[in-house]
Amino acid sequence: MVDPMSPTPLYVQVADLLAAEIKSGGIASGAAIPSESRLQQEHGVSRGTARRAVALLVERGLVVTVPQRGTYVKPA
């Protein structure tokens, strides 16, 4: 759960939660991560925050975005 009172930006918190789920195997290699709108609903954040969280995961090399398909966990 994200903590709006934390000094850590919300998008980083959402990205960290997803990264932990990926690393624990909760989201399998090659599987789609939740959509931005789903992340928005699940974490109570804005769409822009969800978008920045996904972009951060791409930067970290954990996921890859396929245009018009979705965002997927990079195979190990």
Asked if the 10-73 domain carries CATH number 3.40.50.1820, the reply is: no
So where are the chain's domains?
10-73
Q: Are 32 and 70 in contact (CB under 8 A)?
A: yes
pLDDT in tens, 8-58: 999 999 999 999 999 999 999 999 999 999 999 999 999 999 999 999 999
| 64 strand-pairing partners | 72
Query: pTM (2 decimals)?
Result: 0.94
CA of residue 53 relative to chain centroid, distance: 5
